[in-house]
Amino acid sequence: MINSMTGFAAVERETASGVLILELRAVNHRYLELQLKLDENVRSFEPLIREQLAAKLGRGKVECRLSLMQRDHATKLAQLDSTVLQQLVQLSVTIQQHFPQSQPLSVADVLRWPGVLQGERLSHDTLADEIRASLAQAVQEMIDSRAREGAKLQAIILARLADIDALLEQVKPMLPAQIKAYQTRLIAKLQEVIHNADEERVRQELILFAQRVDVDEELTRLGAHIEEVKRILQVGGAAGKRLDFLMQELNREANTLGAKSVSTEVSQVSMSLKVLIEQMREQIQNIE
């Protein structure tokens, strides 16, 4: 199964600190580009979020919005760590002994000291786990969304491939009669110059004829490229870049087929092929 690069997921999660609201939006992009829009109270988790997203997503421009709606009582959950507090008091006494003129620690200084509020430290660790769980859920939802969109893209591409197969089957029976008609016109043309015994001119016309009507290689390569596209779609995975390359190859062969055309019908088939290939290429731009 192939995946689209377009996707969306939204998760709301109740936590001890409040309600986590997470949104992921993805669109097509050449590489993986992460754009994080985090509220100030969860900004410290940016490295965690980037790491988790990069581990699961391959390509696309992904926008991640994360906010935490804190409860009014959330700040009351913190408790003093008596061990750290006692160590801080002893440290303050020692400093006062060595520097009598220094200002003693204020209550605000004590509360800001790392580790004094034990509940805050535990809450931060717990919140990190909640964010990981929310991300895992949102990423999986977006992957599922991308897979559903990818299935639609695959169906469109397979339909276009079937149309191309039909065109190739249509043009193959035309070739013998059209080559014969072109040969007749060429012989008539040569008869006009043969009486002048210009052998070089005759030779050049024959070479040109051989080059113009030989489209077997183009038809063979078109068929081979089509089968390779089908195989890649069947295997799935990160196939976007490989499919885009094959679209270039298909377009090159369609152009050559048109350039070698000996009839209006073959020229029209060549144009129809290029239209179908372009339609596939547009869809493939959205494939991961």
Same domain, 157 and 135: no
pTM of the predicted model over 0.85 = no
10 Å Cβ neighbour count for 154? Answer: 20
Is residue 119, in this structure, part of any structural domain at all? no
- Is there a single domain that holds both residue 52 and residue 169? no
Domain that holds residue 104: 80-112
User: In what order do the strands lie in the sheet containing 18-27?
Assistant: 7-14, 18-27, 60-70, 32-38
- Do 50 and 168 belong together in one domain? no
- 236 phi and psi, to 5 degrees? 80, -155
Same structural domain for residues 91 and 191?
A: no
183 contact partners, CB below 8 Å, separation of at least 6: 209
Question: Does 178 lie in the same domain as 230?
Answer: yes
Q: What are 222-278's pLDDT values in tens digits?
A: 999 999 999 999 998 889 999 999 999 999 999 988 887 777 888 899 999 999 999
User: Cβ neighbours of residue 223 under 8 Å, at least 6 residues apart?
Assistant: 168
Alpha-carbon Rg for the chain, nearest whole angstrom, is 35
What distance in Å separates the CA atoms of residue 68 and residue 17, rounded to the nearest whole number? 8
CATH of the domain at 248: 1.20.140
Same domain? 167 vs 273: yes
Do 162 and 10 meet the contact criterion of CB atoms below 8 Å apart? Answer: no
pLDDT at 6: 92
Domain match, 177 and 62 both: no
CATH label of the domain that carries residue 60: 3.30.230.10
| Ranges in the chain, pLDDT < 50 | 75, 121-122, 197
Q: Judge if 14 and 143 occupy the same domain.
A: yes
Q: Is residue 102 located within the same domain as residue 208? A: no
Q: Based on the structure, what is the number of domains in the chain?
A: 3
Based on the domain organization, do 64 and 90 belong to the same domain? Answer: no
Tell me, yes or no, whether 1 lies in a domain: no
